[in-house]
Structures are given as structure tokens and as C-alpha cells.
Amino acid sequence: MNQPIEPIVVQIEVRRGIQDAFRLFTEDIGGWWPVAGHAVRPDQVAAVVLEGRVGGRLYERWHDGGEADWGQVLAWEPPTRLLLTWRPNRARPAATEVEVRFTSEGDSATRVEVVHSKFERAVAGAQVAESVGGDTGWGRILNRFADLIEGRELPPLE
């Protein structure tokens, strides 16, 4: 068995109540998700869809009608928690897990925390963990979410 790899934990505070933050994160994921660099076929993505229920899928839908699964919903607890399997790279045989926690910081602020774990399941798990941490991984993704939720123009994708 592979040795456990420490989870990656990234958080951000947004100026929205918890109900809105959860709803915008899940229902509007296609509006803020950075498909360039974070999709199977970034140049073909027509939509990013998160089905809001246990057993629901997280996937990209292409302009030609094709789809690529990224994960499956393991826990759906609006407005405080979402847990997904995570395998957007079809070449990786095993899924990691992504938990998103929403914590109210008052009527108009919410802390959004992503805990990405179970890297030991993945081939080259340490490299996968390194790639999703910091400013190019979940940090970049959460910053785009904050930009959308707070009404700022989304920065161009590189």
C-alpha cells in the first residue's frame, strides 16, 4: 500500500452569504471554472456541469455533444459541504477526493475551503498533489470563483 500523502488545503473568503456561495459554486461552476488548463479538451468545452445530488456527476460537455467525467458526488450537504471523487485525467486509473467546505463568517461572508486528498491512490500521487496546490492549482481556481462571486471581471486564461 502506498504511504499517505498530506492533503492540499486551500481556502478563500468571499463576500457572500453561505447559501449564495454554495449555490454559485455548484450551479454556476461553468461560469467561473478555468477550463484552459483544467479540462480534458479545453478548446472544445461548451459547459461544465455539476449534478447536485449524491451520485451526481461533475463533467465537461463538448460542443459536439461528447462528454468527459471529472468526478462523482459522494456527499451533497447544501450549503456546507460537497465531496467528490476527482479524476479529470483519464490516464489516471484511480480517483483522488475533493471536499469543499463552506463556513459562514457572518451574513455576508463565507469561507470556502478545498481539501484535496487521497493522492496515494493516484499514479505519481506526490506530483499530482504538487500540481494542484498553490497559485496554479486550487489557489487559482478559488480566486476565479471569488472574482465571479464578488462581481469582478474574470481574468483572462493563459
Is position 155 within any domain?
no
Local confidence band at 9 (pLDDT 50, 70, 90 cut-offs): very high
What pLDDT, on the 0 to 100 scale, is given for residue 52? 97
Query: What pLDDT is stored for residue 125 in this prediction?
Result: 82
Domain count, the chain: 1
In the prediction, which pLDDT does 11 show? 95
Q: What's the pLDDT tens digit per position in 38-51?
A: 889 999 999 999 99
Q: Is residue 36 part of a domain?
A: yes
Q: Provide the residue range defining the domain that includes 28.
A: 8-149
Q: Say whether pLDDT at 149 is over 90.
A: no
Kindly indicate the confidence band of residue 150, based on its pLDDT and cuts at 50, 70 and 90: confident
Exposure on the CB side of residue 136, measured as CA atoms within 13 A: 7
Closest CA to 146 of 20, 9, 43, 45: 20
Residue 127 maps to which CATH number? 3.30.530.20
Is residue 129 in some structural domain?
Answer: yes
- Which residues are CB-contacts of 53 (< 8 A; sequence separation ≥ 6)? 73, 76
55 domain residue, yes or no: yes
What digits encode the pLDDT tens for the residues 68-123? 999 999 999 999 999 999 987 766 668 899 999 999 998 899 999 999 999 998 87
